[in-house]
A and B are shown apart, each in its own frame.
Chain A
């Protein structure tokens, strides 16, 4: 936390790790090596304190009360929205909608933006690399509307085939929804180019940024995306809250997502007048402490500097790629030019779940499974992979622990 924003090229891992209480524990008799950051990240003390402080001092509902606590809660909640706006480089806080998760943000766009514009025969364009959360909402919508879901293919190196993408955008395409960084493979997709190509044909673009925001600078104005979503808990904030950025002119024309309190201006049994965005899309009491905790997490990242974090994680990834491949029988899945956050691999005929159990015995937490991206697994003709995913607090010696664990796997399986 001692490094000024934007100037650092290296992170001081020891001071950083001191900020994360959960990292300091033994698992099965070994120091915890947490390499499951793509699933969720650990939380810095500052975030835990911010959530706790809300409940200890300012706990109240937002947007309504005239009393002191409610005013404090409202100010804290709405200034979190402003922090998020600044973090994403958006123009206007009213472009920041709080959701439960990235998943809910995608569902919101499917329901309130795409749904009313989708006619039989229209198309929704996604990619082969998507998490289930960027597949299933579109499948449901396309089934309901008689539209078709089209899939941009990827190569065996785990890169999207942009020429195919260009060919697949048609006058029937109503939205392109694409993952910024693949959760299963770590591939960084060229979203700038995808957005430009789609906009050239007048097609709006939604970006699933759940795995991008923790690892790289994201500027929604520079990207010019129509929608961008991410989850708090993957970026060192609390669980249960996510963010949808939507261009103001898009949000203004969208119908509500859920009905309830806070999303209305006035209600009678004859007629309801809906509130302005973003409140139109935030029915019910929001996750107040989640918003406060998320803003604190983004502040933490800003203090370290996202460029320094990115450089640190890239060096971890490079080291991990080499070190893992030195273990006999290990094969990395995909070889994209740009990778962030995560590596997926398999080990000859040893099932990833067995690898995960054995690594856990040595205190190393990884993810084994299909990573909610079964089409990715199908592409590579696998049922599962092992995924090691990195965060700003990981150290090179933790990769060594992973490699040592993989040697133990070999030992057990002979």
Chain B
């Protein structure tokens, strides 16, 4: 069970039970839809970007604990950051999960709770769906994002 505690850390379980910033945003400046066909996770990310800063971010969706918690924590992490900073955070997050990075950045903060996902390769997509969707929203891509 100790391995599972690495995956399902208390912070993750908390954000799964009570996701933050989980609402439909009126007057969003951009949105994007993400879909993980493997487990049927769906997420919609809403952004209000002013002068290149993410002033407000919210989401709606349906997914597993890893997906829901990752989306919730992502909204907390990028709030108030510039689009470039958010993209940089995604890169670091992605590297942490896929084990490419030699050393991990300090910017990730709370997002380090997802480090355990690296041991479960089929679940990496669950943790990154929100970020791919955020990226699409920031780039104002019109097509749906999928993790496939």
Contact = CB atoms under 8 A, between A and B. Distances in A.
B13 A413 contact: yes
A339 B4 CA distance: 33
A140 interface: no
A222 B45 CA distance: 55
A357 interface: yes
A171 B64 CA distance: 46
Given A369-B38, A412-B8, A413-B13, A361 B64 contact: no
A368 B63 CA distance: 12
A369 B40 contact: yes
Interface in B73-131: 120, 123, 126
Contacts of B144: none
A350 B66 CA distance: 11
A351 interface: yes
Main secondary structure of the interface of A (DSSP, over half): helix
A414 B13 contact: yes
Interface residues of B, number: 22
A412 B4 contact: yes
Contacts of A353: 38-39, 41, 64, 66, 123, 126
Interface string B39-72: 1111000000000000000000011111110000
A413 B9 CA distance: 10
B13 A357 contact: no
Nearest to B123: A357
Given A351-B64, A351-B65, A357 B120 contact: yes
Contact of B3 (A350, A361, A368): A361
A162 B41 CA distance: 34
Contacts of A351: 39, 63-65, 67-68
A285 interface: no
A384 interface: yes
A358 interface: yes
A119 interface: no
Contacts of A377: 40
The 9 closest A-B pairs by CB, nearest first: A351-B64, A353-B64, A353-B39, A383-B40, A354-B65, A384-B40, A354-B64, A412-B8, A370-B40
23 contacts: A28-B3, A351-B39, A351-B64, A351-B65, A352-B39, A352-B64, A353-B39, A353-B64, A354-B64, A354-B65, A354-B66, A358-B4, A361-B3, A368-B39, A369-B38, A369-B39, A370-B40, A377-B40, A383-B40, A383-B41, A384-B39, A411-B1, A413-B8
Interface of A: 28, 350-354, 357-358, 361, 368-370, 377, 383-384, 408, 411-414
